[in-house]
Amino acid sequence: MHAPTAPTDASAETAAPLPSTTVIVDHPLIQHKLTLMRRSRTPANEFRLLLREISMLLAYEVTRDMPLELIEIETPLEKMMAPVVAGKKLCLVSVLRAGGGILEGMLEILPAARVGHVGLYRDPVSLAAVEYYLKLPRDISERTAIVLDPMLATGNSAAAAVSEVKAAGCQSIKFVCLIAAPEGLKTLHEAHPDVTVYTAAVDSHLNDHGYIVPGIGDAGDRIFGTK
């Protein structure tokens, strides 16, 4: 029996520093809900609901820097100049299949966003990302893309998905996940240093099969109840 593994404490002296483009969203509600998700006995229906709720909270953080502009409106009492979101429109890019779990919650907060999909699977031996599907909005080059995948493990799929979004002409890209491994953060940062990563947690390490430890297991299987 192993001693329980704690998620990485990025401030610990022994831990390698995380890329400066890493934002750990450590809101207490997110941390609480993530703990419930991690439990192996949490059933798929609860897991999905928790992921949706956390995704809404992550949406709040990833859009914090959206510019505002003032427009004139009329309240029941008088005219006023009131702020509305301005700047580039958004495109949410879901990395299939587990990205769909985050997409649902994000769309609740950002209903006007366009949606793209990148289908990638991990070669079980090399752990390299293999693409099998790609559909992005035609105007993605004029939007800010937020690429979604719950687990930033090796970073290979994340880097490949971001490369596709860049190849489509998009220059403003963020990445949102639930749990990142230090290895994945490093790989993504080396490939795309311009991409900021928003994550609820940075865990200890990857195991020999490329799974994040302690992690949540296979995110797709836990969302869809497959296995």
Judged by the rule CB under 6 A, the positions of this chain that interact with ligand URA are 98, 151, 153, 210-212, 215, 218-220
Minimum Å gap between C-beta 153 and ligand URA is 4
Q: Which is nearer to ligand URA, 88 or 224 (CB)?
A: 224
- Is 55 annotated among the ligand-binding residues? no
At residue 173, the 3 state secondary structure works out as strand
Burial 63-100 (b: 16+ CB within 10 A, else e): beeeeeeeeeeeeeeeeeeeeeeeeeebbbbbbbbbbb
Q: Which is nearer to ligand URA, 151 or 188 (CB)?
A: 151
Minimum Å gap between C-beta 124 and ligand URA is 12
- Is 101 annotated among the ligand-binding residues? no
Q: Which is nearer to ligand URA, 211 or 224 (CB)?
A: 211
Beta bridge partner(s), residue 129 = 122
Minimum Å gap between C-beta 128 and ligand URA is 13
**Residues tagged in the binding site annotation for 5-phospho-alpha-D-ribose 1-diphosphate:** 97, 122, 149-157, 218
